[in-house]
Amino acid sequence: MRKPLLFGNSTLLVCALFFTPLTFADQGARLLATGGASMLEGSGGGGIVPWATLSSYSGEDQLGVTVSLSEVTVDDFRLSVQGASFSWNNRIELSYAEQTFDLSTIGGELSQDIVGAKVRLAGDLIYGDLPQISIGAQHKKNKDYALPSAVGSQDDSSVDWYVSAAKAWLDGPFHRTWVANLTLRSSKANQLGLLGFGGDKEDSRDWLAEASVATFINRYWAVGIEYRQKPDNLSFAKEQDWKDLFVAYFPSKHVSVVGAYTDLGSIAGLDDQTGWYLSVQAAF
């Protein structure tokens, strides 16, 4: 006589029904590193710039999932980010990030939630003449609005819109593979939104340019730079553009690690905020 199954047949059936329609990006339908990393606002991208690429390695009719932890430590502040994203069909990406901004020197902490969506409109990162073009949105909501309000912020939530184009050259300069991404963002966010949206000095949307360029030394290691324009809406302190110099490591399609030297300029009146960025992502 057969032994009864531990969970019974109905449970197995439910499991089968649940898993059948979705194919996870197990071995991955896309090439190593084309899923990129998780950027500070949770979207698939570099470190500080969302890219036209979609997170994970999911391809046609596949679902991909990523989780990430990032930390930026500069002279007087520390930013911690926990993020997760879902990608389907190499077409749609949904993301969530929770940012906590520790005002190490001033004292206190700020935080916000970011829900993001991105859609690939056309093109492919690697194949064909057209770059990969995506549009995206990031809905941001402050969770500690007392300080932003006190320094002149006009709103505790807002949506950033962006359009991104990314292209890889397999055999670029020095016979290395190069990747470039350009993002144009419409935003009112002060310091990513951690200091609220819009300000006493200016309360309108700005078009901001963000760019990344990276070269792959081999299949697993890339080095690159990023630049991100910032608005300047608050009169109490000037906000400056961000830049970083990064090294990315893709040991497999399941793990990526990005380390960077970052220059965040002046934040809340404290100048020359430079320091280190570290981000780890797991993808399934």
Partner 1 sequence: MKIGLLLALLLITPLTFAQNLYVKLGEKQGIKTIVEEMLYRVGGDARIAHHFDGVDIMRVHKLISEQVCDLSGGPCDYSGEDMKTAHRNMGIDNADFNALVEHLIAAMEKQDIPVSAQNQLLALLAPMHSDIVED
Token pair 């090294």 in the structure block, residue: 247
107 contacts: CB under 8 Å, gap ≥ 6: none
Q: Which of 127, 207, 236, 261 binds partner 1 (CB under 8 A)?
A: 127
From 115-123, 163-171, 203-211, 243-251, give the range in contact with partner 1 by CB under 8 A: 163-171
Q: Could you tell me how many residues make up the chain?
A: 284
Q: Which of 63, 69, 126, 270 binds partner 1 (CB under 8 A)?
A: 126
Residue 118 Cβ vs partner 1, minimum distance, rounded to whole Å: 19
CA distance linking residue 177 with residue 182, whole number of Å: 17
Percent helix, strand, coil in the chain, to 5, is: 10, 50, 40
Identify whether the C-beta of residue 184 lies closer than 8 Å to the C-beta of residue 152: no
Cβ-based nearer residue to partner 1, 33 or 234: 33
When asked if residue 278 is in the footprint of partner 1 (CB under 8 A), the reply is no
Query: Looking only at residues 43 through 62 of this chain, which bind partner 1 when binding is defined by CB under 8 A?
Result: 59-60, 62
81: enclosing H helix or E strand: strand 78-88
Q: Under DSSP, is residue 122 helix (H, G, I), strand (E, B) or coil?
A: strand
From 108-116, 159-167, 172-180, 196-204, give the range in contact with partner 1 by CB under 8 A: 172-180
When asked if residue 247 is in the footprint of partner 1 (CB under 8 A), the reply is no
When asked if residue 31 is in the footprint of partner 1 (CB under 8 A), the reply is yes
The two beta strands, 109-122 and 132-142, are antiparallel
Cβ-based nearer residue to partner 1, 15 or 217: 217
Residues at the site binding partner 1, with contacts judged by CB under 8 A? 27, 29-32, 59-60, 62, 90, 126-128, 169-172, 174-177, 217-219
